[in-house]
Amino acid sequence: MVLREGTETSRGKEAYYNNIAAARAVADAVRSTLGPKGMDKMLVDGMGDIVITNDGVTILKELDIEHPAAKMVVEIAKTQDDECGDGTTSAVVIAGELLKKAEKLLEQKIHPTILANGFRMASVKAIEILRNIGFEVNMKDSATLKKIALTAMTGKSVGTLERETLADIVVSAIKQISEKTDGSLTADVDNIKVEKKQGGSVSETELILGIILDKERVHKGMPKSVKDAKIALINRALEIKKTEVDAKIQIRDPSQLQKFLDEEEKTLKELADKIKASGANVIICEKGIDDLVQHYLANDGIYAVRRVKKEDMEKIVKATGATTIGNLDDLSAKHLGKAEVVEERKIADSEMTFITGCKNPKAVSVLIRGGTEHVIAEVERALHDALKVVAVVVEDGKAVVGGGAPEIETAMKLRDYAASVGGREQLAIEIFADALEIIPWTLAENAGMDTIDTIIALKSQHESKDKKGKNYGVDVNSNKVGDMQTKNVIEPLRVKTQAVASAAEVATMILRIDDVIASKKSEAPAGGPGGMPGGMPGGMPGMM
């Protein structure tokens, strides 16, 4: 052996089985959370902090996973979350099922390369099938957008009434910030600022056509509210610049000191005067504001906040049309942003600045309210998913029904395709089709329904001549199969195509590994390379 002592290797069969077991363990960890009837997980970290959620990607991020193959599966959940904001559990569960089925074929001496090839072909075909199932959604169709927002939020521990409120907020927010560029629509959720304040109830969560800053005005002498606001955005400090090196000024008589102080005061007064001259009545400053400048601004009836984050400055630009200024000599009326009102409001027990009544703002805010930290955190995750899915549908203009219907339909069509391919790849494509059925299967299982009966009933609907048959999915509320369109279960097409693509990708990647060589875990404290190859992800919290 040429490797350092302590290096662990596993190859061939052993490598496959270890990797598959690890990846499947990840899938098993989140399976019970899938769908509206899925359960929550309580995660407790090393510091004793608790997270209660049923959000796939959140659970996986919190788990301290060491096995490299398991980590690859966690990565696809993250990709899914970045691309679609939803469908993370589905992607991981499909990947786990693909590998479970692949293991059976490996046992029958089918070569992993054949499997990987077949999976790749199946994935391309499945995406094509899904695209054909997809139907168009117009961004003006608020009713459908709302259904999509609600579907993304089902299963999150947020009450039904509150979900309605949140869904309305989501649809308005996305419509407000979407922009047409080169003929296509973009909806960037980064232009929606989400602020949280504990206190009140979730139903008091509100959309603000403007920006909220978790900041109070810098000086009590300033007005609390400014109507017809003209906002100057400044990214330099309104202070006297400190010299880079320590400078010493020697003052020999009192009049010199006074002169020096006067000089300083004059410079600061000039800063305030330049702002006033521009016609601004609100200052949003990225840096600090000197006490004296605060005082002058207050005398001039100007409202000011300081040390505002750069990304918030950018959102204010989008919301008010202001131009950020670094040199006050450049500041003039044309750089000022507009809002009906800028005011300080007391929310729970802290003061916040509300910039509201912006004209057609391309950045908006949502203020989340809720009784406890845990409630607010889960609302935030629900809101994140819903905002992202509605944004995705506005951008792509395509949706599918949910509840496992597209997976059943795709599986059926994939089997026809497999038969046309023939050869040994046919087997791989067929198990790919079988693996997709894990979605309706698990939805039924988590709802306490009979899984086999459900799949049989779904298949018979999808095979029927009735055009509505292909909309049939698992209706978890009545414990029957039903038309998902009439049950308002609708999801973005991209959530489905991305989930299939990433599941196939990680499964083929894992199948192509026939050798795992892991260096000995370094003795250094936390953060060293992962240990190998126990076969199971390490460090899972005790409740799994």
Binding site for Mg ion (CB under 5 A): 86
Is 133 near ligand ADP (CB under 6 A)?
Answer: no
**297 near 278, Cβ under 8 Å?**
no
The one of Mg ion, ligand ADP, none whose footprint includes residue 290, by CB under 5 to 8 A per kind, is none
Give the strand pairing for 480-483 and 225-234.
unpaired
Name which position in 20, 41, 63, 87 contacts ligand ADP (CB under 6 A).
87
Tell how strand 303-305 and strand 282-285 pair up: parallel
Q: Are 86 and 389 in contact (CB under 8 A)?
A: yes
Whichever of 327 and 486 has its CB closer to ligand ADP, that residue is 486
Q: Which of 10, 19, 89, 471 binds ligand ADP (CB under 6 A)?
A: 89
> What span, in angstroms and rounded, lies between the C-alpha atoms of 165 and 488?
17
Give CA–CA dist 274/330, Å, rounded: 9
Residue 385 annotated as catalytic: yes
- d(CA 161, CA 236) in angstroms, rounded, equals 45
Element (H, E) at 180: strand 179-181
Q: Name the active-site residue from 89, 144, 353, 454.
A: 89
Question: Which of the listed partners (ligand ADP, Mg ion, none) does 403 bind, with a CB threshold of 5 to 8 Å by partner kind?
Answer: ligand ADP
| Side-chain half-sphere exposure of 218, counting CA atoms within 13 A | 27
Does residue 104 sit in helix, strand or coil?
helix
155: DSSP letter: T
Work out whether 454 is an interface residue with ligand ADP (CB under 6 A): no
Answer yes or no: are the C-beta atoms of 149 and 187 closer than 8 Å.
no
Closest Cα to residue 195, out of 169, 168, 158, 217?
Answer: 169
The alpha carbons of the chain give a radius of gyration, in whole angstroms, of 29
Question: Mask 147-176, x = binds ligand ADP (CB under 6 A)?
Answer: ----x--xx---------------------
| Residue 33 makes contact with ligand ADP by CB under 6 A | yes
Q: Which of 476, 481, 503, 516 binds ligand ADP (CB under 6 A)?
A: 476
55 is catalytic: yes
> Collapsing DSSP states into helix, strand and coil, what is residue 131?
helix
In the annotation, is 356 catalytic?
A: no
Nearer to ligand ADP by C-beta: 268 or 408?
Answer: 408
* Alpha-helix residue ranges (DSSP H) falling in 197-253: none
Task: Tell me if residue 515 is catalytic.
Answer: no
Stretch that binds ligand ADP, among 196-204, 237-245, 277-285, 471-479 (CB under 6 A): 471-479
Residue nearest to Mg ion (CB): 86
Stretch that binds ligand ADP, among 86-94, 101-109, 238-246, 535-543 (CB under 6 A): 86-94
> In sequence order, which residues have a C-beta less than 8 Å from that of residue 361 and are 6 or more positions away?
176, 177, 209, 210, 318, 319, 320
Handedness of CA 53, 57, 58, 62 (dihedral sign): positive
Strands 206-208 vs 364-370: parallel, antiparallel or unpaired = antiparallel
Shortest reach from residue 186's CB to ligand ADP, in Å: 23
Pick the binder of ligand ADP from 439, 503, 509, 510 (CB under 6 A). Answer: 439
| Least spacing, CB of residue 122 vs ligand ADP, in Å | 19
Closest contact distance (angstroms) between CB of 264 and ligand ADP is 59
CB of 317 to ligand ADP, least distance (A): 34
Least distance from C-beta 347 to Mg ion, angstroms?
A: 29
Among 33, 58, 88, 410, which one carries the catalytic annotation? 88
**Taking CB under 6 A as the rule, does residue 34 contact ligand ADP?**
yes
Out of 81, 312, 385, 483, which one is annotated catalytic?
A: 385
Tokens for 148? Answer: 């999509």
> How many CA atoms, within 13 angstroms, populate the side-chain half-sphere of residue 408?
27
Q: Find the shortest distance in angstroms from Cβ 86 to Mg ion.
A: 4
Q: Which residues participate in catalysis according to the annotation?
A: 55, 88-89, 385
Which parts of this chain interact with ligand ADP (CB under 6 A)?
33-36, 38, 56, 86-90, 151, 154-155, 402-404, 439, 443, 473-474, 476, 489, 491
